[in-house]
Amino acid sequence: MSKVEDLLHRAAQIDALAEAALLTPNAQLDNAVETSRANGIPPIAVSALAGQYLAIQAQLIGAKNILEIGTLGGYSTIWFAQTGAKVTSLELNPKHRDLAIENCKGLDVEVILGAALETLPKLKEEGRVFDFVFIDADWGEQWEYYQWAVELTRKNGLIYIDNVVRELLESNPELEEAKGSLLAKIGTEKRARATLIQTVSGHKAQVEDRVDGFVLAVVL
Ligand code: SAH
Ligand code: DHB
Ligand code: MG
């Protein structure tokens, strides 16, 4: 095994150490993991440490209203809602929606069924405003989601886009001149200030999936 492969394998051990040291037992999150597995929901929720990171960001800005695009079984939804915020989460798949509602019992969570690009304009029409938008659905629509997120987020609110590096590696493996790329487009959006943070995570079964990264942006 090369040194780099070894480091990627050790990322899993480091995550385990960090989880044991930093996270507290959480029955509702454990239940969401368990019911998702039992219902054959794909294992693509954020990791526990990433969930804690998102919750910290929400707490830092005192987020009261959070918009999530891509609910799955409600795992990240629970992380957000347990900070005390109200979470509005958008989901296309009725099976995922149903399970998420079950998993989020007792928390201030609304799941809206439908394609996000159909729901987002309605939220705008209704005058809804959010403190934090978490984008975690179809990778191919990240740019459109980002544009809506900028529209729907208050000044100094945050936007987080998951899986940006994996999307880049899939859509442009040679990393050629990135004019039409998501990153280039985000750079043209002057209503927000954005950065890319590359990540290595241990919770993916496939080693090559462990390299990823997210965009974090603040609305100006
Ligand atoms: N945020 C979740 C993971 C989301 S996985 C967590 O970390 O726990 C992505 C989800 O987006 C899946 O449930 C998928 O059904 C949903 N999705 C895919 N396309 C969508 C669309 N166009 N509109 C809304 N949801 C969509
Ligand atoms: C995968 C991971 C994600 O975070 C996601 O939103 C969708 C898919 C994956 O590992 O395939
Ligand atoms: Mg994701």
In this predicted model, what pLDDT tens digit does every residue of 157-166 receive, in sequence order?
999 999 999 9
Residues with CB under 6 A from ligand 2: 44, 136, 162-163, 209
Q: Nearest C-alpha to atom 1 of ligand 2 is from which residue?
A: 44
Task: Provide the pLDDT for residue 111.
Answer: 98
- Give every CB contact of residue 86 below 8 A, 6+ residues apart in sequence: 64, 65, 66, 108, 109, 110
Say what percent of the chain tops pLDDT 90: 85
CA of 71 to the centre of ligand 3 (A): 10
Ligand nearest to the CA of 204: 2
Ion ligand 3 nearby residues (CB, 5 A): 136, 162-163
Cα(80)–Cα(67) distance, integer angstroms: 10
Q: Does position 94 have pLDDT exceeding 80, yes or no?
A: yes
In this predicted model, what pLDDT tens digit does every residue of 100-112 receive, in sequence order?
999 999 999 999 9
In this predicted model, what pLDDT tens digit does every residue of 55-71 receive, in sequence order?
999 999 999 999 999 99
Tell me the mean pLDDT in the region 85-91.
99
Ligand nearest to the CA of 201: 2
What six digits make up the tokens of 187? 């750079």
Q: Does position 178 have pLDDT exceeding 80, yes or no?
A: no
**Ligand 2 mutation target, pool 54, 138, 160, 163, most atoms within 8 A of CB:** 163
pLDDT confidence bin for 205, thresholds 50/70/90: confident
Cα(71)–Cα(135) distance, integer angstroms: 10
Q: How many Cα atoms occupy the beta-carbon half-sphere of 171 within 13 Å?
A: 18
Q: Nearest C-alpha to atom 3 of ligand 2 is from which residue?
A: 44
Ligand nearest to the CA of 170: 2
Helix (H) or strand (E) holding 142: helix 142-152
* Ligand 1 contacts CB of residue 44 (under 6 A): yes
Q: Does position 129 have pLDDT exceeding 90, yes or no?
A: yes
Q: Does position 206 have pLDDT exceeding 90, yes or no?
A: no
Task: Provide the pLDDT for residue 8.
Answer: 85
CA of 20 to the centre of ligand 1 (A): 28
Of the chain, the end-to-end C-alpha distance in Å amounts to 46
Q: Counting atoms of ligand 2 from 1, which one is nearest the CA of 45?
A: 4
Task: Provide the pLDDT for residue 4.
Answer: 84
State pTM to two decimals. 0.97
CA of 64 to the centre of ligand 3 (A): 22
Q: Does position 175 have pLDDT exceeding 90, yes or no?
A: no
Say what percent of the chain tops pLDDT 70: 99
Q: What is the DSSP letter of 9?
A: H
Q: Which residue has the tokens 């590359």?
A: 198
